[in-house]
Structure 1
Amino acid sequence: MNPDVPRPPGTLVIFGGWFFSRVVAETAELLGWTIAGFVDPDPPGWVTPLRHVPDESFAIVAIGNNPQRAFVHGKVLERGRRVVSIIHPTASVSQSAVLEKGCYLAEYVTVRSAAVVGSGTILNSGSVVSHDCQIGPFVTFGPNAATSGHVSIGARTTLGVGACVRPHAKIGCDCEVGAGAAVACDIRDGSTVVGVPARAIPKRSAKQDKQSDWSANPIW
């Protein structure tokens, strides 16, 4: 159950102004939220960032980079903001599942019975968290990524598009699971795995979308 999620309409401030924030904003508006604006220290040209965050507003962090999302989420909570999850109306969440604060669930996501999804996790369209899974905070599931039952995934890990995980597998923190990979065994912290079955490869520098520098952001 998720009693901390208020019923819209309400006023929502989105922390993050780049590409993913537009996705979250569109879903929030579909649900009836009024978007007060975006907070970003280095926004793109199409965004005019807020100079002040209304005290009565709710907040969500919409940043695709997992560690950066975790940093900003923590700062927002320190400021005392009311952080909420945004869940697309086509998503299916079991009554016995738990979503912690600040998650985003896109179209046709499924979260099954007794699953726990950690704070700030992003579940992109068509992804599946099966029964009795433990998903850590600030994880990202790419579109159509899926776990079987009783899977454990550590904080800040990413499952690529269409990746899948066998029952009872344990994936550590700060891992990267490549697109289409099939995880058939436990994965250590900090690993990058690809292929079928998924095997570890050396870490490589991946091309990143534009990321703002939040270290000196004046508005929380």
Structure 2
Amino acid sequence: MKDLIIVGAGGFARETAAAAAPAGWNVLGFVDDDPALHGTVRAGLPILGPVDSVLKRDAAVVVCVGNPRNFTARRRIVERLGLPEDRYATVVHPTAVVGAGSTVGTGSVLLAGTVLTADVTVGAHVAVMPQAVLTHDDRVSDYVTIASGVRLGGSAVLKTGAYVGSGALIREGVTVGDWALVGMGSVVLHDVPPGEIWAGNPARLLRKAEELAQ
């Protein structure tokens, strides 16, 4: 078993810890920049110190931060740490299915019940929440977040940093642009331009989200 430290101590971080242990990782604990958390325990694991403390430790790292209000945080922390690619863990829950021809990049997390059917490409530092289904020839770029219950039709494309909310349906062949956000439960029938927030059935533009990617 290889040692693992999880960056962040929120819900996604704790879910990742629960997935990592049965996947063969020895989870040492979490790191977080909130000093009030240091020395406390979350989900049975200690908060070891600030984020930058991973630079002094000999363990694999996975960055598990971000939410719909701040979905660029994962990229910012990865860039801030500047760790080599081989320091990052890829965590795949034992119940996730990674089909033939599919690949998952470094630093990415597939939680319980995730399905990649065939020839799906998932980039680096991608968060895939429980019960998401990615079908044939989907392409998911770095720093994407796919919330629970999302369904991607075949050959869908999620560009860098896109966020797809819980239960959203993305039609086959549709592209969601860089740092765009799709609201939960949305039905996306057409391409979503970069830096926009879309929601509804059918999904439509609500407002620009470009400032989130700064």
Q: What range describes the TM-score normalised by the shorter chain of this pair? A: 0.7 to 0.9
Give the percent of matched residue pairs that are identical in Structure 1 and Structure 2. 27
Residue by residue over 1:126-173, the C-alpha shift from the partner in whole angstroms, topping out at 9 and shown as x without a partner, is 101111111111111111101101111111111111101111111101
Write the mapping of 1:55-66 to structure 2, written as runs, cut at 5 A. Answer: 55-65=57-67, 66=71
Alignment match, 1:123: 128
**Structure 1 CA distance for aligned equivalents of residues 196 and 13 of structure 2:** 28
Partner of 2:139: 134
Could you list the structure 1 runs, at least 4 aligned residues long, displaced by more than 6 angstroms after superposition. Answer: none
Structure 1 residues without counterparts, runs of 5 or longer: 1-8, 205-220
Deviates further, 42-51 or 126-135: 42-51
Is 1:14 the counterpart of 2:6? The answer is: yes
The Cα of 1:81 is off from its aligned counterpart by: 5.9
Which letter maps to 1:181? S
Q: Decide which of 28, 36, 50 is 1:36's aligned counterpart.
A: 28
* CA apart distance, 1:18: 2.4
Q: Count residues with an aligned counterpart.
A: 196
Equivalent residue number for residue 50 of structure 1: 49
Q: Which runs of 5+ in 2 are unaligned?
A: 42-46, 210-214
| CA distance in structure 2 between the aligned counterparts of 1:159 and 1:125, rounded to whole angstroms | 13
RMSD of aligned Cα (Å): 2.0
Partner of 1:89: 94
Contact map agreement 1:91 1:110 (CA 8 A) in 2: yes
Is the contact between residue 151 and residue 170 of structure 1 (CA under 8 Å) also seen in structure 2? yes
Deviation at 1:31, TM superposition (A): 2.1
Q: Secondary structure at the match of 1:199?
A: strand
Determine which structure has greater relative contact order: mean sequence separation of CA pairs < 8 Å that are 6+ residues apart, divided by chain length.
1
Confirm or deny: 8 A CA contact 1:59 1:81 kept in the other structure: no
Output the CA distance in 1 between the equivalents of 2:203 and 2:10.
31
- Find the partner of 2:157 among 148, 152, 158: 152
Per-residue CA deviations over 1:94-150 (Å, capped at 9, x if unaligned) read 131111111111111011211111111111111011111111111111111011011
- The reply on whether 1:110 has 2:115 as its aligned counterpart is yes
Pair 1:23–1:44, CA change in 2 (3 A)? farther
What SS is found at the alignment partner of 1:202? Answer: strand
Whether the aligned pair in 1 keeps the contact of 2:35 and 2:49 (CA below 8 Å) is no
3-state secondary structure, aligned to 1:50: coil
**Structure 1 SS opposite 2:16:** helix
- Aligned to 2:21, the other structure's residue is in SS state helix
Comparing both structures, which one devotes a greater share of its residues to strand? 2
CA distance in 1, matches of 2:176, 2:143: 14
User: What's the secondary structure of 1:27's corresponding residue?
Assistant: helix
**CA distance in structure 2 between the aligned counterparts of 1:158 and 1:29, rounded to whole angstroms:** 26
Matched, 1:180 2:206: no
Moved more, 36-45 or 127-136: 36-45
Greater percentage in helix:
2
